[in-house]
Amino acid sequence: MSAPLAADASPGELLEIAKRQAVTAGALLLEIFRDGDEHEVTSKSTPTDLVSEADRLAERVIRERLAELRPQDGFLGEESGAGEAGSSGLRWVVDPLDGTVNFLFGIPQWCVSIAVQDERGSLAGAIYDPVRGDLYSAVRGGAPTVEVWVEPSPVYGGPPPMRETRTLSASRCEELSTAMLATGFAYDARVRAAQAQVIARAIPRVRDIRRFGSAALDLAWTAAGRYDAYFERTVKPWDIAAGTLLCEAAGLRVVELPVHHDLPWGILVAPPALCEPLLELVGGPA
């Protein structure tokens, strides 16, 4: 068992904790995912808002380890609700399995998201995509990176695969008509109906729109330039704590989507030149 980290640990040291716990939980989840034997499933806010024993197990593993390493810190997890207040001024915000529905249906689009926050917001964060082995991370004021597996040599007996760290490069798109957007939908049917109207209005004016089902991974991919922009309503702190840090570190703007009738609060992430036109396009019902 490792000794607790000093209360005045650096952002880099905190990031290493986030990365290690994300990879540990991700490995556990990947084994369950590949076996396809997750049967303990219940619903939360609506019948389509699912939670599995895998969610709970992953959060428990992360929470217990953080309690050993950072006993004075607070904790907020998706499955534990309100979480715990700490005395250090730091709080860990954890989504142990973002994309639960995908996970349960065998769709390889889900991740683990862990961030540590102070009074200013996210200080360090990591998002781990276990299926692809990609580990996204950033600290406030630093360059966002992704650690990826480099393909092994095709020659029999060649060198083993290696990890390579790459700096994320976000989109600099300036034209709405060429923008590739990512989004997500709420579990509440009434909200989804209102969101459908927004999509119908937006899709003729942009390159295209993707909806894969993991907000945290959508944010990581936006920071990596796979999407030009991302917007979604009804996101929770654990969905976006690490992802918005990645996007801001990559030079993107993160702005709030205002509340309208049947359209709850949300966020928009985009290159600076696209923020205003996109906010006008997707920020309201009409």
pLDDT digits 0-9 by tens, 146-159:
999 877 655 666 66
Judge residue 262's burial from the number of C-beta atoms within 10 Å of its C-beta, 0-12 exposed, 13-18 middle, 19 or more buried: middle
pLDDT attached to residue 53: 85
Domains in the chain (CATH in brackets) are 11-167 (3.30.540.10), 176-282 (3.40.190.80)
> In the predicted model, what is the mean pLDDT of residues 225-247?
97
Inter-residue contact 104 to 38 (CB < 8 Å): yes
pLDDT in tens, 172-183: 999 999 999 999
- The percent of residues above 90 in pLDDT, for the chain, comes to 79
pLDDT at 64 over 70: yes
pTM of the model: 0.91
Q: What would you measure as the largest C-alpha separation in the chain, in angstroms?
A: 62
Cα(98)–Cα(91) distance, integer angstroms? 19
- The number of beta carbons lying within 10 Å of the beta carbon of residue 269 is 30
pLDDT attached to residue 7: 61
Cα(200)–Cα(213) distance, integer angstroms? 19
3-state secondary structure at position 245: helix
